[in-house]
Structure 1
């Protein structure tokens, strides 16, 4: 672990601070830790010649190694073991590059172990070549390293120098790296765009130097609280939740993607003037917002590059912090300080990774979660003594309110054959004991009378079984016809009933669900049968077992209209207040309502059509260049496309609806020019 004295202090310079940045570029060279030796150019003919020289030229049995000059081998196992030895592998490499082979003593006493991998004497924790380790750490780093004429070393993020698909050469002097770094000092290359999308949050800005010329943030509810991306993953795998909250989330997600793409499409002219477009969008959903079907951005654009470090929630403040971080250049005074800081950071990362692995291995399994909804255990306490009471008044309990003479009175009554241990009776008995002797005689007579009445009730109170309701065959036939799929009339069946039985048959309730014939016709969505049953005497006020009237049980609009039209035709036949029918309606009123709804739908379609036409006109106007907008001579704002006021706000030949649009246009206009 590094102490405070080992921490290397650095100086920070911003790329857009041109005076300080240009001072660093004097005598610019690539740091030595990023440069390797130039590879020796080997043609095909020389390689084939050297390969042919590696054939075995030993005795006739061919059990000698012509590369190392060893042999003959006594057994086949010794020969195979020699070919697997690092000494033989090392000599093969030297032969390929036209060098002489080494003897076994020279191989064991050599100092350069870089060309041989995995020697037996090396361990995993030791490094034989610190220079190669420093080169590996520098080339894997997210920053590039440079030196200047004063010997200072400074670090610049690679994402502002080149795209990850561009492979800049690290051989020779690294002229390509120097050219990319010097290009940052040109004023046109100071225009960067930063876009961030995460969890329904969008934040983006276009910077010209240190100033944010355009910026925008947007948030939408696309992730349910406590769910994270779980429901989004379920949607993608065909197991989408069907709750109202999930439906709202999916709708907001589609609207969020469309809104972000509209924002980027509005910045298309500004993005053309940017030299770098940095983004942060983890996951396919977030990336589809930036690189979707209708987005002007594509991953193939070499200006579009991902941020090399993690970020926080996308906000305008975070976008400014990211821009400042990417534009920061760390400056070390000497190469020794830089190497010390680089190796220390690499070792800290390795130690941190190893410690996290050990912690994960030694982590104990978590205990079962505590169920907060479960009721807490109450402190045990003594329960009152239960005494079985009479059937009509339930059990009695002995507690603090029980009179002292209750047990004695209870035992006397049990001995006399009077089984009444009700709380009310026993309290009265105790009160009787405390009263005068003259009153006790009257009370005892009342008590005997009460006991006789209770005994009589116990004898007479026997459960009475209700006889099953008999339903005639004609009624069952009528119900079957109503519940069937056919739309036949009920005239034939209704004529089969006598005048006295017709009304009773229509109002007979089914013992299963309590539905009458009118209920069944309303549920079956048969308005003609509803009218016939109402005319025959079917009462619309009868309720079934679910406490529904026939009108309330009907889910069909046409059936409910049949009830209302019958009420308008026969307003005095039934008590419609109890039937839950909202009111009568005539055929003329019904036709007027239908015409009114049709006109409303037609007007709505016309408004939507006009709105879409106006939107297309505005989009077409906004896609024009400023010169084309001037020639079009339309009374529309040159920035947002809204209708202009009288008189409009102007500068040069451009017209705007507000001062804010005019200022934004003046700030954006320099970005349209090329670098």
Structure 2
């Protein structure tokens, strides 16, 4: 059974948060999992003893495997065959994690056991030597681990502490690690540059602490859709495509590289003051944009370091996310929580690899057979009988008969030809060739369809009869609503009984589907609308155009619906009625006043515009000599306001160079010259 590891969520801290970071560094030490025992002075005998242990059976020609303990081999082919075995690769992995190698018998017994026993054995091995597993996981991790006086464990990315070429000692007390970590508290060492290039996108920024001092993004069309980097590699190998799109992409690629190098050269002075230059550029073309001939950056510079984690498309948002991720510190309260999190992260990768290998084995076992399949050859087609071709006297062309062809279908085809009914589909021929049972079923279906059509035809006049049965009082009420002089329905509503009143108000007109409430709302009679709503007129009923009374209403009658909703909030389902919301009289007056103010302000703006137009027209009617004397800051040609530095020749001033040119062209030749 696989052991479930608890997910430990650490605290997050940023390096540029100075106060908290300095508190965290008090009593700083390198974590014990990253330190080994210091080198001891050994004599010559012990060294020779270790060298003899590395060789097997005294073989000095290298014809043996020191990892698995096998050899000497009889031939070179036997040696290479051993190196290709899964047993050898498994022992190499165990050696990386500081475990003892397995013999061939132990490896085979491990394979014969189930996946449960295999996982148990691995957990037993890890349980026997947890310190070596922890050391292997810590030294191969992309982060360095430290502790402080509070016994907290925190993780910092190695890329901001040292370059890959720099080897910081992990023996003894780790003084070099502590110095590099304490150096980050100096403000000058928190000035970092992050540059990202990928797929025609460039994004870069220089950060001072947590603030972006300079940033720039750029995008160009350098990859054709659905082809990726294939065309660039073809250009490099001499098989360059000659299409218009390829030439455009090639031109944009060159411009893209020049633009990025220009940006980096412009940032040369700022990049010199950076303690770190972190970059993400996969591929030779993307790296050529950053480390070209004229670029101030160099790969040999120890400040220039690659990002240790994958990133998304280069954008300014992504650059800020990368900066926060690199500057983040994970803090664990105790060493136990840290060990659980570290072992959990390493166990996830190993379980994934083991699961993939077990799935591959389970897939391969059922498919294994003695038959050898040659993948280079195409698969053989299953031989099928060709249809026999015959000529019929009744048909003009050849007829093909195979296993699916019904018996006697040529005869039915000839009968159809004689009757004048010809069908090209085989389905029709199959239907004709079936027995009486199928024909009887088809006849029953056609009869049912006819009966269904007859019933529909019968229903239509019944529906019309029901629609036509409208009482005289309802028609009278509709007539009173349409009358322009009447504004109340009290007389007609008193004639209805209490049971009939609601039904009469919601009766729909068969012509357009409008109820009495629709008609009153359309006729712009708000008093009638409130009377009908009180009497039981439903505001959710829709007409033939699927309009509720509020939607179909006139603008003057719409506030009546909102007033009624404010006074009777629970009487109807107002969500379906499409009424926007309740409205009181005070709110209505405020809205009315607000609209009136907006109208007054609009009129005032229009007056000011008209006055300005009159001034401009008066100025344009003046001669050039009068315009110079008037000294008004307006263009001598179009009359618009002049900028701070106007365009002018002689004493004439203009807003744009086009106005100046047009003015000179309009003047007489001797004056314009």
Would you say same fold, with TM above 0.5?
Answer: no
TM (norm. structure 1) is 0.44
TM (norm. structure 2) is 0.44
Larger relative contact order (CA 8 Å, sep ≥ 6): 1
